A and B are shown apart, each in its own frame.
Chain A
């Protein structure tokens, strides 16, 4: 399957992927409104890790046998059998955070929206087409491509 791959050598630690992720997962799809009205600061589903000068964007790897899906107590977290995308049906999530304990990449963070739990994890912008983090990366430090046959 096509996944987002980070190319740390090209990452300039601008965190635009986080900003674009937040906007893509906002109700308004507008940067100003996402931050100032919807209070979505800090809710990115991609994490730019820094050990300067090194920086790299970390996000869900959409595992073949995802621990987050296996551990989900409500059945909210699923892997789409056609696309391979691992995503959370957020209205089913109860916020137990077993997914947080399961993810080997630490790519799921506990979050909250309107008093309801939201696991902050990459869904490859499955309703859009190209992930927003990739589309907005100014230096192609993130690419969306197929690297393994059948994966």
Chain B
């Protein structure tokens, strides 16, 4: 069996592990457009801060590839998929035959049309090369404008602040990270950022950019405000890299590529995992889990991927946020349990619907968060222990005896 994996991040590496659980013999080739062995993309902000060095970037050590007999082709882009001949064409003309193919091409930053924006006057914040380029510009005393106050923009903000750069965040929504934070939590985080010297402009966006004679950028906002900056970072989301499958019969592409419950794409032998998959939240745990299952299925396992609600941990400047499911919900159809301590920057909110956990948002008090995630994913009715959920000693013993006994017996 001949396995080809396109893309070189967490989904691919986990697919290797999944394949090898079932097939020790087949040949595995990973094609990476980047010149690096797989690294966790969220590490780039830590690298920029110098909390992670070059040698600590790889997600798995070199021995992982040797032990699993993986051929890794770095710095080559897959440009065409020929499903009839079962071949992938690379940008150097090489053709790779496959029996099973994994599309783990991830996403690319979405860059909106803004007057005056050129490839030379902005940065994106998604891969190693982005921060390697940014490093030389991010020096103390400089000023940066970041468009987008979601997880990517916030991590870019943190690393720039740590490098002594003065940061302004511009966000189109009425609050920071609107899909995960409700207005109250958004206000709490906004206050924290302002206390850390970060400027924040909400309900606003960029309308034009001009390079001044002194080399600095003059950035115009929709509100009419003008900002001067040395660095502009665009961080308003990613779009799935679906080009290889576009136009092929049997494949459905919405935002990403549509997959079946086994993560197959509709083309014989072709699977997909990670950010390229339609409807998949672009989050690392989800990519890793999908990669593992896709790998197993490519080797014949027949495992079903149960779509997981989003869950995420995000820390910046010492503040830690864990969000899961419907964490920003506030409407009347939900029951909200909350604990708020603004002085300690603590915010804990559980969102219940029909006596089941539908979301959770935990700021600066995140112990045992995974139990909430499990209750949420399993759809467990919490009526009998609702009063326990936000108790300081909440834990497994808060759950019905049958559940915790079963869990501890695993």
Contact = CB atoms under 8 A, between A and B. Distances in A.
B149 interface: no
A71 B322 contact: no
Interface string B163-179: 00000000000000000
Given A56-B397, A94-B43, A100 B367 contact: yes
B368 interface: yes
Contacts of A104: 370-371, 373-374, 407
B324 interface: yes
Contacts of A6: 408
Interface range on chain A (Cβ under 8 Å from partner): 35 or more
A53 to B, nearest CB: 12
Contacts of A147: 409
Nearest to A78: B60
A110 B367 contact: yes
A104 B406 CA distance: 12
A70 interface: yes
A61 interface: yes
A48 to B, nearest CB: 10
A14 interface: no
Interface stretch (B251-259, B309-317, B331-339, B347-355): B309-317
Nearest to B20: A81
Given A71-B285, A97-B366, A5 B56 contact: no
Contacts of B314: 96
A109 B50 CA distance: 25
B59 interface: yes
Interface in B33-81: 40-43, 46, 51-52, 56, 58-60
Interface string B352-390: 000000000000001111110110000000000000000
Contact of B46 (A49, A63, A91, A94): A94
A102 B368 contact: no
A47 B392 CA distance: 14
Contact of A72 (B40, B56, B312, B374): B40
Nearest to B395: A49
Contact of B58 (A5, A49, A50, A75): A75
Contact of B397 (A49, A71, A107): A49
Given A49-B396, A61-B410, A104-B370, A70 B288 contact: yes
A110 B285 CA distance: 18
A70 B59 CA distance: 11
A67 interface: yes
Contact of B14 (A54, A70, A94, A102): A70
Contact of B408 (A5, A50, A69): A5
Interface residues of B, number: 43
Contacts of B367: 100, 106, 109-110
Nearest to B373: A101
Nearest to A92: B56
Interface string A75-96: 1000000000000000110111
B218 interface: no
B292 interface: yes
Nearest to A6: B408
B284 A98 contact: yes
B396 A71 contact: no
Contact of A50 (B284, B311, B370, B397): B397
Contacts of B408: 5-6, 56, 58, 61, 105
A61 B58 CA distance: 27
A63 B315 contact: no
Nearest to B311: A101
Given A65-B292, A101-B311, A106-B395, A73 B284 contact: yes
A108 B40 CA distance: 20
Nearest to B375: A104
Contact of B395 (A47, A67, A95, A101): A47
Given A74-B40, A108-B370, A110-B366, 6 more contacts: A51-B397, A67-B370, A73-B42, A97-B366, A98-B284, A102-B370
Interface of A: 5-6, 47, 49-51, 54, 56, 58, 61, 63, 65, 67, 69-75, 91-92, 94-98, 100-110, 147
16 contacts: A47-B395, A56-B408, A67-B285, A70-B288, A74-B56, A75-B40, A75-B58, A97-B315, A98-B313, A102-B311, A102-B370, A104-B374, A105-B371, A105-B396, A105-B407, A106-B370
